[in-house]
Amino acid sequence: MRSERHWSIYLPALSISILWAGVLFWADGREPPLETLKLLALAVEAIAVPLLYLWAFFRARGAAVEVTSDDIAISTGGRRPEKVRVGIASVSNVQTAQSYLQKLVGAGQVRIDIADGRQFVLDDMSAPDRIVEAIRPDQEGVDKVGEI
């Protein structure tokens, strides 16, 4: 079973771009036009929004969890990517957390605790419940956290 970052990682950047596009059109449609607000909205749309999309892209790139019958391959992605392969027996705890919106779109946070004390927190993963079920099919020792 393989899970990668969910497309919902781009939703904050999308909502900000829609909001500031609305501000831009509203400021331009006023009589007389609100030039300062219009320039601010243009600056946000031209500089901040592309940076947010780029940030989300680099966070999403390379992050994955692959569960086989014997081991788990975890790749964190992001600025400091880390790739680890551990045996399933060494997993001490698995937790999932989903906000209301993440439940609607099928994404969530997965936290994997390893017996040697390492912890991996993977945000915006697709099908977090399937990851938990693949790691611990009997659900023993698995915590499911509701809202984040």
- Pair 128, 96: CB distance under 8 Å: yes
Mean pLDDT score of the chain: 87
For residue 88, is pLDDT > 60? yes
- Pair 81, 62: CB distance under 8 Å: yes
Per-residue model confidence (pLDDT) at position 26: 92
Q: What is the mean pLDDT of residues 82-89?
A: 88
> What is the biggest distance separating any 2 CA atoms in the chain, rounded to whole angstroms?
68
- Pair 71, 91: CB distance under 8 Å: no
What confidence tier does 68 reach under pLDDT thresholds 50, 70, 90? confident
32: three-class secondary structure by DSSP: coil
What confidence tier does 1 reach under pLDDT thresholds 50, 70, 90? confident
pTM for this predicted structure: 0.73
Per-residue model confidence (pLDDT) at position 107: 92
Amino acid at 58: F
Per-residue model confidence (pLDDT) at position 109: 92
Bridge partners for 2 per DSSP: 66
Domain 64-145's class? mainly beta
Angle 49-60/11-29 helices, nearest 10 degrees? 170
Q: What is the mean pLDDT of residues 103-125?
A: 90
Amino acid at 88: I
